[in-house]
């Protein structure tokens, strides 16, 4: 008989409460189970000691008899120090999808075009200032410069 240590849902609508049970893997989620070894209340705070109550001794016994915990229960067992949970790596999980990649490329192209336009505009302004500074001043410009210097 394949044994599973899993959560069995209780509580009312939108107020979940779970029992940690040892059950035959073929039995329904909330159906028949062999033994209740703890409970889990997700509505309590993460630092609350009553959030997960687990009988570690019975969990060790059932693990020794070949029971396989679900992912969530394996986390609880790891936190209780009963069984170490191996680290899992899924590098593709954080990778964006195709549409998101396309949008990022479009955004990068628009940003690059805007930078080139602003750089060209800045170069044009600098070139105009250099041209203005290198031109020979006219007589009228010299009179205006002298008048502003006297004030």
The predicted-structure confidence for 65-112, as pLDDT tens digits, reads as follows: 999 999 999 999 999 999 888 877 888 888 888 999 999 999 999 999
Q: Which residues pair with 7 in a beta bridge?
A: 20
Residue with the larger pLDDT of the pair 150 and 48: 48
Q: At 16, which helix (H) or strand (E)?
A: strand 15-24
The reported pLDDT for the residue numbered 151 is 65
In 3D space, the residue among 12, 17, 76, 64 whose CA is nearest the CA of residue 41 turns out to be 17
Q: What is the pTM of this model?
A: 0.59
3-state SS, residue 135: coil
pLDDT exceeds 80 at position 147: no
pLDDT at position 1: 72
Token pair recorded at residue 142: 């010299």
The Cα–Cα gap between 54 and 144 comes to 91
Mean pLDDT of 35-57: 93
Angle, helices 71-80/56-64, rounded to nearest 10 degrees: 120
Dihedral (CA of 120, 122, 126, 131) sign: positive
The answer to whether 23 and 8 have CB atoms below 8 angstroms apart is yes
Cα angle for residues 59, 61, 63 (degrees, 5° grid): 70
């Amino acid at each position: 008989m394949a044994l599973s240590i899993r959560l069995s849902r209780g509580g009312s609508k939108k107020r979940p409460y779970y029992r940690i049970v040892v059950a035959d893997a073929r039995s329904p989620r909330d159906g028949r189970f062999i033994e209740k070894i703890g409970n889990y209340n997700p509505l309590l705070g993460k630092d609350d000691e009553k959030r997960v109550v687990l009988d570690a001794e019975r969990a060790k016994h059932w693990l020794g008899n070949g029971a396989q915990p679900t992912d969530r229960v394996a986390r609880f067992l790891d936190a209780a120090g009963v069984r170490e949970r191996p680290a899992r790596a899924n590098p593709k999980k954080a990778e964006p999808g195709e549409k998101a990649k396309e949008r990022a490329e479009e955004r990068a192209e628009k940003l690059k075009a805007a930078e080139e336009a602003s750089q060209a505009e800045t170069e044009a302004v600098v070139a105009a200032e250099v041209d203005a500074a290198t031109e020979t001043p006219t007589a009228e410009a010299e009179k205006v410069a002298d008048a502003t210097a006297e004030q």
